[in-house]
């Protein structure tokens, strides 16, 4: 069965520290997609990135970077030089073959000033 595990329920760091949010997935599909979403305290769900299973290149977007490793079934998200505005719940999700996204439980990230 497909599954997404975000083992870190909550992470708290001081501003400017780097932080990595872990995402481990299980799937039998050979083709799949992985996603990260951000849910700030205001409540909306904001799309951050989509990655397909054939592309293991790491992605960098400003202070955000993603490390996709099929060998370990992981798709980890790193924020460099964290800022208070990064405080949010972050969700990792996996596509399945039934037209659905399988969602992780989310990691609450607290950035302290």
Partner 1 sequence: DTAVSQTPKYLVTQMGNDKSIKCEQNLGHDTMYWYKQDSKKFLKIMFSYNNKELIINETVPNRFSPKSPDKAHLNLHINSLELGDSAVYFCASSQGLDRGLAGVVEETQYFGPGTRLLVL
Instruction: Give residues in contact with partner 1 (CB under 8 A).
Output: 29, 31-33, 35, 37, 39, 43-47, 50, 52, 89, 91, 95-101, 103, 105-106, 108
Return the number of the residue (13 or 101) whose C-beta is nearest partner 1: 101
Considering beta carbons, is residue 16 or 50 the nearer one to partner 1? Answer: 50
Over its C-alpha atoms, the chain yields an Rg (Å, rounded) of 14
- Tell me whether residue 37 or residue 66 sits nearer to partner 1 (CB atom): 37
Question: In whole angstroms, what is the distance from residue 15 CA to residue 6 CA?
Answer: 22
Q: How far is the CB of 98 from partner 1 (least distance, A)?
A: 7
Question: At closest approach, how far in Å is the CB of 45 from partner 1?
Answer: 4
Least separation, in Å, of the C-beta of 39 and partner 1? 7
């Amino acid at each position: 069965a497909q599954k997404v595990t975000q083992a870190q329920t909550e992470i708290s760091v001081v501003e400017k520290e780097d932080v990595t949010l872990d995402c481990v997935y299980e799937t039998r599909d050979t083709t799949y997609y992985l996603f990260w979403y951000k849910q700030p305290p205001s409540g909306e769900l904001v799309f951050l990135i989509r990655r397909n299973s054939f592309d293991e290149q790491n992605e960098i977007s400003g202070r955000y970077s993603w490390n996709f490793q099929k060998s370990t079934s992981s798709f980890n998200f790193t924020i460099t030089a964290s800022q208070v505005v990064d405080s949010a719940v972050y969700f990792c999700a996996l596509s399945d073959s039934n037209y659905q996204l399988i969602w992780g439980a989310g990691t609450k990230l607290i950035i302290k000033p």
